[in-house]
Amino acid sequence: MSKKALIAKAAAAPRRRRLSPEDRRREILQAATTFFSEEGFNGGTRELALKLGVTQPLLYRYFPSKDHLIKEVYRTVYLERWDPRWDRLLTNRTLPIRERFAEFYRSYTDVIFTREWMRIYLFSGLKGLDINRWYLDVVQKKILTRIIQEYRHEVGLAPQKKPSPIELELAWALHSGIFYYGVRKLIYEAPVLEDKNEVISVTLNVFLLGIGRLFGTDIGEVPSRKPLLRAASVQRKSAARA
């Protein structure tokens, strides 16, 4: 779109209602989150201002640069949505380890399994932005390291300052498997088993069996697979009738 067309479009836009600075900032941030999730990070602040019906100078009054705006999107979409209860849940040794890991991933995926969350994350990776590196660090420190530490405690292995590389890879395999289920469902819109909790349960069982085999440890019997097999059978029959 030419500069003249952009100016004409902005002039024709309806006058914005007056908002307090806090509300205006919140409105811009929410619009930016939606904008970046739809357009990626090549979208400019001029287009964003047009979508909002405000001027670029007004936008820069609240966010001095595009990079600053991206950092605020990261903070609100990723950091503010981190539930402090997850920290306590992962390390709550009064609960069986399988139960707390499963409950964590059920709650965690309730938050991250949205098109907005997924698309911003994937767009930032393609663009090589820091959002991915920042969030991968959060995942490794707050989730994966704790999973390994809690597993080692559960089976009586000696504590260690940080997980070994192979332990981290196993934890990443667990986390990535669950994450990619969300990508297939929300981004690729591919057919998936709709019972998310069952997918989490089975993926977790595979992880616990695998790490147990690697270290010669065991935390007890894996729950029956019959519910999953029944669900898969019902889904196949429904697809065949469609």
Q: What CATH code would you report for 3-75?
A: 1.10.357.10
Confidence of residue 241 (pLDDT cuts 50, 70, 90): low
Q: 67-105 burial, b if ≥16 CB within 10 A, otherwise e?
A: eebbbbbbeebbeeeeeeebeebbeeeeeebbebbbbbb
Tens-digit pLDDT profile for residues 97-119: 999 999 999 999 999 999 999 99
| Pair 96, 89: CB distance under 8 Å | no
Tens-digit pLDDT profile for residues 39-73: 998 888 999 999 888 899 999 999 999 999 999 99
In this predicted structure, what is the pLDDT of residue 130? 86
In this predicted structure, what is the pLDDT of residue 9? 54
- Reported for 66-69, long-range contacts at CB under 8 A and 24+ positions apart, including other chains, are 69/28, 69/29, 69/32, 69/45
pLDDT at 122 over 70: yes
Q: Where in the chain is the domain with CATH 1.10.357.10?
A: 3-75
* Among candidate residues 209, 206, 188, 186, the one with its CA nearest the CA of residue 198: 206
In this predicted structure, what is the pLDDT of residue 34? 93
pLDDT at 179 over 80: yes
Quote the mean pLDDT of the chain.
87
Other Cβ atoms less than 10 A from the Cβ of 147: the count is 24
Give the C-alpha separation, 44 to 172, whole Å: 34
% of the chain exceeding 90 in pLDDT: 67
